[in-house]
Amino acid sequence: MKVVLGTNVLVSAYATRGLCAEVLRVVLAEHELVVAEVVLEELERVLARKIGLPGAEVERIVGFLREHPVQPRPASLPEIEVSDPDDAWVLASALEAGADVLVTGDPDLLEVADAARGLRIVDPRGFWELSRRGPAGG
């Protein structure tokens, strides 16, 4: 599966050793990670300002993620209405990348999951369950 991870999932993956870290590990080992440029921009800010990681560590993380395909900022927003414009860019990126799954903890994106035809929008637990079902589940 081609997977896009939202900012909150990536922040949690690098800041804690919980479910999001395991989701990132599974995506890297078993799926194709596509990184949205809009997510990288926000990730950089959050890791530095809110989490307080040193600049060199933030650069290392962003550099590692850039080793995977990066979806540039789309030219336009999707027709699906998302209440937060920043989240709409994440959705547009996942759709334009042709992702199978967008993993996010963001309620605004999870709320529009049914409207995003061809793209599954799930929280980290939902992705974990989906990925553990194997080929028949994905």
Tell me: the pLDDT tens digits for 81-115? 999 989 999 999 999 999 999 999 999 999 999 99
Kindly report the number of other CB atoms within 10 A of residue 105's CB atom. 17
Lowest model confidence (mean pLDDT) among 37-41, 73-77, 114-118: 114-118
Tell me: the pLDDT tens digits for 1-38? 999 999 999 999 999 889 999 999 999 999 999 999 99
Place of tokens 């993993």: 103
CA 98/CA 22 separation, integer angstroms: 23
Superfamily (CATH H level) for 2-137: 5'-nuclease (3.40.50.1010)
> Would you list the domain boundaries of the chain?
2-137
CB-neighbour burial class of residue 48 (10 A; exposed 0-12, middle 13-18, buried 19+) = middle
